Amino acid sequence: KKLQVAVCGLGRYANLVREGLAASQYCQLAGIVTGSPTKASQWKAEYHIPEKNIYSYQTFDTILANKSIDLVYITLPNGLHKEYTLRAAKAGKHVIVEKPMALTEQDCQEMIAACQRAGVQLAVGYRLHYEPHHIELKRLGQEKVFGQVRLIEASLGYRLADIDPKDWHLNKALAGGGPLMNLGVYCVQSSRYVLGEEPVAVTAQFGPVTLPHLFTEVEESITWQLYFPSGAVCTSTATSTCNIDRFFASADSGSFELSPGLSYGPFRGKSSQGAFNFPVINQQAAQLDGIAYYLLANKPLPAHISGEEGRKDLRVLEGIYTAAKSGQKVSLR
């Protein structure tokens, strides 16, 4: 049996999830949730979705009665992740929610508790955990192949000069923040999984506003420093001012890096031992199969992909905003 997946919110990323579902071994696109009748009929015709598995945001809760859907994959704007996770859990469906998991750590806690109460599992769409270059970064860092990692630089940015001023990414209520929420989560994640540690303190600075007609509600760019118990420091920028996409780690007897490093790739990387040579994979398919393996076997999801992992990231993201607003070093203990 394949895991029967309904995709909720048919925007840009939903299309990559759909391609991932088509390429996956253990999952199948079974249903959709959309506010657009046009998209509903397009997806129905092109991907052979039965009418009974098509929901609007208003009829979504009736998915409870639909035994042919096992999991809801939420690809809505960040500010809607919590509401739809709670509704999916109440309907008895497993959930994959896109990153960032929610707008606050408190929201993540409520989502985790709701899924526990409902007896369903909750995963965050962290595709890089299944990507070979990133699995190698994790190994090099956590197994201390070059000794203790001392310094990480991990940054991600896209120049958004041409974005529609009405896009939800610029709206505080729907995005939760600017590039920190949408891109910075990858920088925070990579430093946490390469070190295998949780940061204990943070300092942060907002960058200049160069696109003032767009960035009225959320930050245009932000730079921060995470301090880890081992003494390692990670410095990062998430920005909508310019393009940047790289990861670099320096350890006692060597270094390793990826550039492109935190986007969709294709990734290029090397360590002090030479160039990486890993295949390009469908990241969404690998992630979906990695999650489905546990759900189909009725086993608990591994920690690195669970809601708990999303909660840990939101804790750090909130700390970064507090530090940038106050200009103070903020303790995360």
List the catalytic residues. Answer: 99, 186
Query: How far apart are CB 74 and ligand NAD at their closest, in Å?
Result: 8
* CA torsion through residues 287, 292, 293, 298, sign: positive
- Subset of residues 293 to 322 that bind ligand NAD, contact rule: CB under 6 A: none
| Alpha helices for 24-171 (secondary structure H) | 37-47, 81-90, 105-118, 132-142
Can you tell me the distance from the alpha carbon of 262 to that of 200, in angstroms, rounded to the nearest whole number? 23
Number of residues engaging ligand NAD in binding (CB under 6 A): 19
Grouping H, G, I as helix, E, B as strand and the rest as coil, residue 333 is coil
Tell me the residue nearest to ligand NAD as measured from the CB: 11
Q: Between 149 and 168, how does the x/- string for binding to ligand NAD read (CB under 6 A)?
A: -------------------x
CA dist 177 and 172 (Å) reads 5
Position among 6, 7, 10, 238 found at the interface with ligand NAD (CB under 6 A):
10
For ligand NAD, which residue of 18, 87, 93, 127 counts as binding (CB under 6 A)? 127
**125 binds ligand NAD per the rule CB under 6 A:** yes
Count other C-beta atoms under 10 Å from residue 143's C-beta. Answer: 9
Taking residues 175 to 194 in sequence order and writing x for each that binds ligand NAD by CB under 6 A, - otherwise, the string is -------x------------
> 226 in helix, strand or coil?
strand
Task: Mention every residue, 6+ apart, whose C-beta is less than 8 A from residue 248.
Answer: 152, 153, 154, 255, 256, 257, 259
Q: Is 195 in the site for ligand NAD (CB under 6 A)?
A: no
Binding to ligand NAD by CB under 6 A, coded x per residue (else -) over 60-99, reads ---------------xxxx-x-----------------xx
Nearer to ligand NAD, 10 or 152 (CB): 10
| Binders in 13-32 for ligand NAD, by CB under 6 A | 13-14
DSSP state of 206: E
Nearest CA among 4, 94, 6 for reference residue 300:
94
The residues of the shown chain that bind ligand NAD, judged by CB under 6 A, are 9-14, 35, 75-78, 80, 98-99, 125, 127, 168, 174, 182
